[in-house]
Amino acid sequence: MPPIERRLFLKQSAALAAGLAMTGSSRESEAGDSPDAKPVSANDVVNVAVVGVNGRGGDHIAGLTRQKDARVVAICDVDSNVIGRAQRTLEKKYGKPVPYFQDIRKLLEDKSVDAISIATPNHWHALATIWGCQAGKDVYVEKPVSHNVTEGRRMVEAARKYNRVVQTGTQCRSHKGIQDAMAFLHSGGIGKIYLARGLCYKPRGSIGHKPDGSVPAGVDYDIWLGAAPKRPFNPNRFHYNWHWNWDYGNGDLGNQGIHQMDLARWGLNKNEFPKAVQASGGRFGYTDDGQTPNTLAVSFEFDDCMLEFEVRGLPTNDENGVRVGDLFYGTNGFVAITSYTRWQSFVGPKLDKGPGGDSGGDHYANFIKALKARDSKQLNADIEQGHLSSAYCHLGNIAYRLGRKLHVDPSSESFVNDSEADLMLTREYREPFVVPTKV
């Protein structure tokens, strides 16, 4: 282990031996919560642990430490080699090291932790969230919330059963500019919307080929694999590049694209599954270890409109000024969402510029506020919305992988008379990392 990480481990052990004095809590359980749940009053500081600190977890730490009524009290990551930056940031912020856990199950035993913030690979999102709910923790979970369709529904059920506040990491929902765009669309600003297009034109180069090898020292690879099948370690299936392997990720449709899919569905005001989906594409332009498409076109059908989504990972032009964003077409014009915060409308026969704007917000603040109020309705991206948008991405990937049009039963969140497609709504789970069929 590198010297700096060994020093951090010694500091962490000391912090743990001190009994987590800086995070201790004597709150009693409240009616309706799970047995380990603790009510958080309006004057309390919320104790949050960040699970996964190598990528998006850094943003979680930055966002949560900005909140005056939240404190990051622990971190968790299966790779002890990547925790240094997070530990240094938190030690500088609080004047002492915070405890480090390599196994999330040990972290969840700590009753002083009120909430967990999850930034792991996708195949861990559902189980970490469900375990968190069962342990009495509120949860902020990155997008997509699930690795497959049925996981998302189990997450919703766990949040409701254990009375937990569960926020999805689709932060555009907390940005005022995007909220204004949606209000404009829903008020009829461009007439009746008949088509939404989500665009994910983000350059993705080849990851090349790498041979299997030994597990790096300091990595608990068994926990990292979690529910996924046992297989040799490969660096091209590990940090970040797991996105392009079906066992762990969902391609760019479920990576960057989930943000734009969420906005497309929101703009269309669709809170149910589509009635049909079809897709085509491929991994074009190079040959490498990646499995997921770098070029993909997906079409979702409804009775009164359509949703189209396109992934382009190779060099391309933009469309109406959009590379990563959304376009909405109505009977009286169109709206372009060109960033996480910016939008512009074009209305009338000549498509003159109409209302628009550019304004952000704070998704972490929204989570803490709803958590303290014990009111999921205050969330801008409740887990139910996260499940629906994530499921659209999963449906698109299933249609791509099967290579045919699929008909969907929105009421059962399954396919119509298609047992082959239904099998892809879930996965085989490796013990003991099993997402339950009933929470």
338-371: per-residue pLDDT in tens?
A: 999 999 999 999 999 999 999 999 999 999 999 9
Supply the pLDDT for residue 13: 42
One-letter amino acid of 374: R
pLDDT above 80: residue 16: no
Q: How confident is the model at residue 39 (pLDDT cuts 50, 70, 90)?
A: low
Q: Exposure of 29 by Cβ count < 10 A (0-12 exposed, 13-18 middle, 19+ buried)? A: middle
Both tokens assigned to 363: 């998704």
One-letter amino acid of 206: S
Can you list the alpha helix ranges (DSSP code H) found in 79-231? 84-94, 104-108, 125-134, 149-161, 176-186, 221-225
Average pLDDT over residues 212-237: 98
Plot region of 68 (φ>0 → left; ψ -120 to 50 → alpha; else → beta): alpha
Of 24 and 118, more confident? 118
pLDDT above 50: residue 189: yes
Give the distance between the most distant pair of CA atoms in the chain.
71
Q: How confident is the model at residue 25 (pLDDT cuts 50, 70, 90)?
A: very low
**List of domains in the chain:** 176-208+246-359+383-423 (3.30.360.10)
Supply the pLDDT for residue 40: 66
Q: How confident is the model at residue 10 (pLDDT cuts 50, 70, 90)?
A: very low
Question: What secondary structure does DSSP assign to 231-266, as a single string?
Answer: --B-GGGSTTGGGGSTTT--TTTTTTHHHHHHHHHH
pLDDT above 70: residue 394: yes
pLDDT, the chain, mean: 92
Supply the pLDDT for residue 11: 44
Both tokens assigned to 337: 């969402």
pLDDT above 60: residue 387: yes
What residues form DSSP beta bridges with 328? 196, 335
Supply the pLDDT for residue 19: 37
Can you list the alpha helix ranges (DSSP code H) found in 303-428? 363-373, 383-402, 419-423
- CA–CA distance, 101 with 423 (Å, rounded to integer): 35
Both tokens assigned to 56: 């998006």
SS3 of 168, please? strand
Q: Exposure of 129 by Cβ count < 10 A (0-12 exposed, 13-18 middle, 19+ buried)? A: buried
The CB density around residue 153, as the number of other CB atoms within 10 Å, is: 18
CB 8 within 8 A of CB 83: yes
Q: How confident is the model at residue 42 (pLDDT cuts 50, 70, 90)?
A: low
Q: pLDDT by residue (tens digit) across 83-116?
A: 999 999 999 999 999 999 999 999 999 999 999 9
**pLDDT more than 70, % of the chain:** 90
pLDDT above 90: residue 386: yes
- CA–CA distance, 127 with 123 (Å, rounded to integer): 8
Supply the pLDDT for residue 43: 64
pLDDT above 80: residue 217: yes
pLDDT above 70: residue 127: yes
Backbone angles phi, psi at 268, to 5 degrees: -75, -10
